[in-house]
Amino acid sequence: MFDYETLKLIWWALVGVLLIGFALTDGFDLGVGALLRIVGKNDDERRVIINCVGPTWDGNQVWLILGAGAVFAAWPVVYAVSFSVLYPAMLAALFALFFRPTGFEYRSKLTSLQWRGFWDWALTAGGALPAIVFGAAFGLMLTGIPFHFDAEMRVVMDGGILDTLSPFAILAGLVSLAMLMMHGAAFLNVKTRAAVQTQARQALRFTAIAFIILFALAGYWVIYHLQGYHVATIGNMNAGLAPTDKHVVMAVGAWMQNFYDMPWMWIAPAMGFVGALAAIVLSALPVTAFLATGISVTGVVLTAGFALFPFMLPSSSMADHSLTVWDSSSSEHSLWLMVIAAVIFVPLILAYTTWVYRVLRGPVLVEDVRRDEYGMY
């Protein structure tokens, strides 16, 4: 039904959908964690915040697992190269994520302020650090990762994580943190009442403003200062290609070429800005503001994807060896089998997620956690 080139495009789009799903669901979980000690002024308020995401955070991480699994199956070379150079950063994010299940389960088991304070900081780190790392990873993709292939097509790393870390990658990490804190604050604005809601609404406005400034700064950097990549020549995209079967040129502003060639793509960054602005203006309408931050998050992920296409992992040390959608995909047979699996399981996950949030709808109140001292987080 679909040729090999179309299958490659389908899987690029499907992985994008999975990343957006992760950013929208587990993204607000991370944002809520990062805001725990900012929005929650006392123990009762922090328990309210924790119980807003406690029943669903683990289910939301399904999108992260699906995304990582899809990259491994659809682009095994991309998976190998990215985890080789980014392993220390990914390991740091993983250890930070370890604090989330332990923090949720153990925090309220003892009444000691020192005990609860430790787990509050652990949950904050478990939300903030992964948000920064995931954003920085996208920043590194835009700046390029130092690697090349030898004569036997083995991956050779030309540097480590410290060699790849750049000011732009740090800025991208801050954009991600501000974006997810904004999304998390919007979620708390929906799920809480009274003082917690008021504090969440204030945090929403502040983080949305910070996000707009940082996102604009990142855009200016990409357009006027950052070296971008452009495929000048490549072989038959409907066939199996080696990562070295192309010529890539680098130039400042090259990441914007897709936006110039296909102006409709400007919708993506517009969604990022307009969604955040709408969340500020409509913060008194919790559900509307949350939908607005969701639009903003979706726009940011799409902006990065549109700018990078067709690149998956650009090489900063040998541009011609960069990995693209066309030359780093699995076999046609593998992509076909994965399409069948995605058609079956992604709708099931969406249906289950929708059902869970419908069952668990409604606010979490201070009175609830006080009344059910040991039955809630």
Q: What is the dihedral of CA 63, 85, 331, 138, to 10 degrees?
A: 50
pLDDT by 10-residue block (mean), the chain, 377 residues: 88 91 92 95 93 87 84 87 79 84 88 92 93 92 89 80 80 97 97 95 97 98 94 87 89 95 97 98 96 97 96 91 91 89 87 88 85 69
Residue 153 makes CB contacts below 8 A (sequence gap 6+) with: 242, 243, 244
Taking alpha carbons only, the member of 254, 347, 285, 236 closest to residue 14 is 347
Return the pLDDT at 292: 98
The per-residue pLDDT for 374 is: 58
Q: What is the pTM of this model?
A: 0.93
Q: What SS3 state is found at 284?
A: coil
In the prediction, which pLDDT does 377 show? Answer: 76
Residues pairing with 311 in the sheet: 324
pLDDT reported for residue 132: 94
Q: At what angle do helices 167-191 and 43-53 cross, to 10 degrees?
A: 100
Cα(first)–Cα(last) distance of the chain, in Å? Answer: 50
* All residues at 6 or more sequence positions from 348 whose CB lies less than 8 Å from its CB, including other chains: none
In the chain, which residue ranges form alpha helices assigned H by DSSP? 4-39, 43-53, 57-60, 62-74, 76-85, 87-106, 113-143, 161-164, 167-191, 194-224, 257-261, 267-281, 286-308, 332-359, 366-371
Task: Give the separation between CA 309 and CA 81, rounded to whole angstroms.
Answer: 18
Please give the Cα distance from 31 to 189 (Å, whole number).
12
